Structure 1
């Protein structure tokens, strides 16, 4: 076995359970990306892509001869591919925003989605979950319906992050609520534990972005009222 193959197959034994190091590292990288996203850093997107590539190899273990006791999770694997595509979009969008604002500008200005946009997210979640549950079932997914829910929620949350919608954090909460029990049941303990932490982290992220939006709105209102006050004076 070569060095690369040895590292690729390396596992960590915890409480009698074997966890692949790629799963652990991929989730740590994902958490790092989430922290960067909360802080509105452009580097969050390319860092997240690295984690997506690692986790893709984990959730389609049979493709790499590594399935073991863990079932393939097509939704979990598929969302890594979609993450990469949406992350490229977010990477470009945040870079554009930062360049337009000058050297000291932030990459995104959090805002609430409009009601039509929220309706689009809800319809997309329901219709997409139903469609991909059928697709994953046809492809032999171990748990097609929750797999599809996690898949669609993850894509919509990542898209919402790219658009700067505060609500994207709440979509992650809905994803985690289904993902935690599913991953534990499938034996993906590292990812399941990380999802538990993500659940708490997304609530913090929601509050942080909400406060940023409120502060920026007040600053914009104050700036717009100042010229009017000067004109009256």
Structure 2
């Protein structure tokens, strides 16, 4: 199964596309669209996408990318439970809101500290990543974005934009051309989804939960 997913699917503009890169990212696009629509099925889709993309990143020897997808799988399970709880609380709808300044501070500080820690680990242990700092940024940035999404925070869209700014060129330079192309589509969907969630904050306005992201 893994061998088949790592095999060549077709070639576009001299770039070889492998099946796991193609299928995993196609499902990832569906997951993003489901997240934009606030469908709880975004989480199973992200989990499945992560499982398949583990094969793609492993075949490209991108350890940081593999770690990122394992993180996606774990957060997808947690996000499912968070949104299930939100549906029970609100009668079926997933409420969205802007983060408090405290939550933004926690996200920003946690992302910066996490990137430094993971980057230092990847640098100290070269076997973990041949490109430590971009891999660390993608690894931790993905975690921050998915945590924000699970909490229904509009800022999760901004986090994905910042992740894509590094993810697109890294994917192309690593031979994962389809990932690079899909990231461009992601960018369009992110802008669309960000606008939709932004507008929904007006109708979903309500009490802001106490405390920061934990």
Name the counterpart of 1:147. 135
Quote how far apart the aligned CAs of 1:48 are.
1.1
- Counterpart selection for 1:56 from 44, 54, 57: 54
Given that residues 154 and 175 in structure 1 are in contact (C-alpha distance below 8 angstroms), is that contact kept between their aligned partners in structure 2? yes
Gapped regions of structure 2 (runs ≥ 5): 208-214
Given that residues 74 and 136 in structure 1 are in contact (C-alpha distance below 8 angstroms), is that contact kept between their aligned partners in structure 2? no
- Counterpart selection for 1:94 from 80, 83, 100: 83
- Counterpart selection for 1:45 from 26, 39, 43: 43
Secondary structure at the residue paired with 1:60?
helix
Given that residues 6 and 55 in structure 2 are in contact (C-alpha distance below 8 angstroms), is that contact kept between their aligned partners in structure 1? no
Secondary structure at the residue paired with 2:204?
helix
Gapped regions of structure 1 (runs ≥ 5): 62-69, 222-233
Distance in 2 separating the partners of 1:214 and 1:91: 24
Given that residues 5 and 55 in structure 2 are in contact (C-alpha distance below 8 angstroms), is that contact kept between their aligned partners in structure 1? no
Pairing of 1:56-205 with structure 2 (within 5 A)? 56-61=54-59, 70=60, 72-102=61-91, 105-106=92-93, 108-137=94-123, 138-140=125-127, 141-205=129-193
Q: 1:14 to 1:93 in 2, by over 3 A?
A: same
Quote how far apart the aligned CAs of 1:12 are.
1.5
Deviations 1:164-211 (A, max 9, x none): 111010001000011111111111111111111112221211111010
State the TM-score, normalized to the length of structure 1: 0.83
Deviations 1:49-90 (A, max 9, x none): 1110000011112xxxxxxxx4x1122110111111111111
Name the counterpart of 1:26. 24
Secondary structure at the residue paired with 1:40?
coil
**Structure label with greater radius of gyration:** 1
Secondary structure at the residue paired with 2:11?
strand
State the TM-score, normalized to the length of structure 2: 0.90
